[in-house]
Amino acid sequence: MNEFLPLLLVFLPFVPALISFALPERMAVWRDVINISFALAKLALVGFLLLSVEDGVTTEWRYEFLQGHDFILRTDAFALLFITLSAFLWLIATVYAIAYFGRGPHLARFFGFFNLCVLAATGVAMSGTTITFFLFYELLTLATWPLVVHKGDEKSLRAGRIYLIYTLAGSAAFLAGIVWLKSLVGTIEFTAPPDLSGIPRLELTLIFILCIGGLGVKAALIPFHGWLPEAMAAPAPVSALLHAVAVVKAGAFGIVRMIYDVYGIDTVSELGLGTPLAVLAGATILYGSFRAVMQTDIKKRLAYSTVSQVSYIILGASLIGPFAIIGALVHLVHQGIMKITLFMCAGALDNRMGIKSVADLDGAGRAMPVTMAAFSIGALGMIGVPPTAGFISKWHLGLGGLQSDAPWVIAVLAGSSLLNALYFLPLLYRAWLLPPSAKLASVRELDGAWNRMLILPAAITALATLAAGAFATFPFSPLSWAKLIAESGYLK
């Protein structure tokens, strides 16, 4: 296997990024074509890698950028899970973004940074050491800032400011943690946890808190979640990308790496760090759901829903048990697919009909039936209704809670699902069962290529949500892949 493949995979989006920056606005068509074709190319590359990793072959690329500090890109199974998700959703989000913005001005910058964002997310996934991880993690922060402030109005600038302060402070804590750890045990590769037995418990605990605190900012753990609802000021494709794939997932991904590859589950359970983290995650789940109920703005409601849903991953990871970790890993994918569906639909509703608040939704189902159908599937998935993907996640998490002697997890899941229902079902009720206003009646959902392009991505991810649930036991389904990861490395 070619050792440069990981490098190629990570830096592939750099090409469309540069081209997007450079192309003048009048060549926007070319930009669209190039973006989509690179997204396709990446997906193909990922598919190729998937086959090889399933055979147990991992490839890696190393470069010693400083003596004793390797820059390592590696395609292990966990990395590929995240990469597959990001490659798939990148393609979807690209198509959606093209349709969403149409031929608006100043999109060169948007697509450029959009690609850099994907580059960083892929890098985060494939990082083989803590330092490499940090490099891409910071790059992700930088690449998303211009996307958050894209609109340039007062609200976006404020959101950008808050986003930066939160995430950079988080990165600083994370950096302190990994440098501290490195000074104790040397370079940490994500292949096998280092031997931490000789190190004082207090130091290890402090480092863990620093790292999880730092990563928790991006994963929107309370009390570090404040930036996420603010960031809703960004355009819908950005919200979709940020909240489904790139940013929050990078945080959650990092936390899983910390627990399983840096500290190792033995050390984590020995130090007794799993339970407090699980409790924090549980609190975040309930808090996020609770806040979501109270929002009237659709995107804000989705944002708080994200706060809640991402913590399912952390909950599963910190419970430490076979079912829990499978639930966490599979939810990483499922939450991505479902949440991007919801955001793309919300964006489409806003784009086509100016619907921003819950109250405007009355009768939207009749005006835009396909969109609302996709939205409904996503929402039901979030609640955890079978046979959607969300059900699979919650089922495994619940089993994991029982397995790890933490029955309170069931209560959290139940409470959360109840709250999920409370904030999603009224939307569905309004959209489907209430009569539309006169304004909405005139909308023709699928008229014109642009409009079809706007709806298509959400429809695809909605179908994927169903498929991931219905065909969960098939090979290459997210669930089977999560089981593969868990069996190959994370279960002793």
Partner 1 sequence: MSPLDLLVAAPLAFMIAALLSGPWGRWWLLAAIPVMAGLTVWLLLLPEGSGHVVGGWTLPLGVQLRADGVAQLMVAATAVCAAIVGLYALHEFAPGADRSETAHGFAFWPLFYLLWGGANAGFLTTDLFNLYIALEMVSLAAVAMAAMGSLRAALRYFVIALVGSLAYLLGVALLFSNYATVDLTLLAEMARPDLATKTALAVMTAGLLIKAAVFPLHGWLPPAHAAAPAPASALLSAIVVKVGFVILLRLWFEAFPAIIAPAGLELLGWLGALAVLYGSVQAIRQDTLKALVAYSTVAQIGYLLLAFPLVATAAGTGGAWAGMTIHATAHMLAKAAMFLAAGLMLKAVNGHHLKDLHGLARAMPLTVAAFGLAAVSLMGLPPSAGFLAKFLLLEAAVEQGAVFAAAVLLVGGLLAAVYLFKPLAWAFAGSDTPVVVAKAPLRTAAPLALALLAVSLGFAGQAMVDITAGSPWAGPPATEAEDVQ
Distance CA 408, CA 427 (A): 29
In whole angstroms, how close is the CB of 246 to partner 1 at the nearest point?
Answer: 17
Please state the three-class secondary structure of 191-250 as a single string: CCCCCCCCCCHHHHHHHHHHHHHHHHHHCCCCCCCCHHHHHHHCCHHHHHHHHHCCHHHH
Which of 106, 201, 439, 444 lies at the binding interface for partner 1 (CB under 8 A)? Answer: 106
In whole angstroms, how close is the CB of 442 to partner 1 at the nearest point?
Answer: 28
With binding defined as CB under 8 A, does residue 66 bind partner 1? yes
Which of 175, 212, 406, 458 lies at the binding interface for partner 1 (CB under 8 A)? Answer: 175
In whole angstroms, how close is the CB of 160 to partner 1 at the nearest point?
Answer: 6
Q: Where are the alpha helices (DSSP H) in 295-368?
A: 298-319, 322-353, 364-367
CA atoms within 13 A on the CB side of 213: 17
Q: Are 256 and 313 in contact (CB under 8 A)?
A: yes
Which of 1, 29, 172, 441 lies at the binding interface for partner 1 (CB under 8 A)? Answer: 172
With binding defined as CB under 8 A, does residue 153 bind partner 1? yes
Q: Which residues pair with 60 in a beta bridge?
A: 74
In whole angstroms, how close is the CB of 491 to partner 1 at the nearest point?
Answer: 33
Which of 14, 43, 54, 146 lies at the binding interface for partner 1 (CB under 8 A)? Answer: 146
Which of 48, 65, 408, 429 lies at the binding interface for partner 1 (CB under 8 A)? Answer: 65
For residue 233, how far is the Cα from the chain centroid?
Answer: 18
Number of residues in contact with partner 1 under rule CB under 8 A: 38
For partner 1, the closer of residues 88 and 137 by Cβ is: 137
User: What SS3 class is residue 297?
Assistant: strand
With binding defined as CB under 8 A, does residue 67 bind partner 1? yes
223-235 residues labelled b (16+ CB within 10 A) or e (exposed): ebbbbbbbbbbbb
Distance CA 243, CA 72 (A): 27
With binding defined as CB under 8 A, does residue 161 bind partner 1? yes
The DSSP line for 330-344 is HHHHHHHHHHHHHHH
With binding defined as CB under 8 A, does residue 15 bind partner 1? no
DSSP 26: G
Selected range binding partner 1 among 78-86, 173-181, 242-250, 323-331, rule: CB under 8 A: 173-181
CB within 8 Å of 223: residues ≥ 6 apart:
none
Which tokens in the block code for residue 154? Answer: 């007062």
Selected range binding partner 1 among 75-83, 164-172, 403-411, 466-474, rule: CB under 8 A: 164-172
For partner 1, the closer of residues 41 and 176 by Cβ is: 176
With binding defined as CB under 8 A, does residue 206 bind partner 1? no
With binding defined as CB under 8 A, does residue 179 bind partner 1? yes
Kindly list the residues in this chain that would bind partner 1 in the complex (CB under 8 A): 21, 64-67, 105-106, 108-109, 131, 134-135, 138-139, 141-142, 145-146, 149-153, 157, 160-161, 164-165, 168-169, 172-173, 175-176, 179-180, 182-183
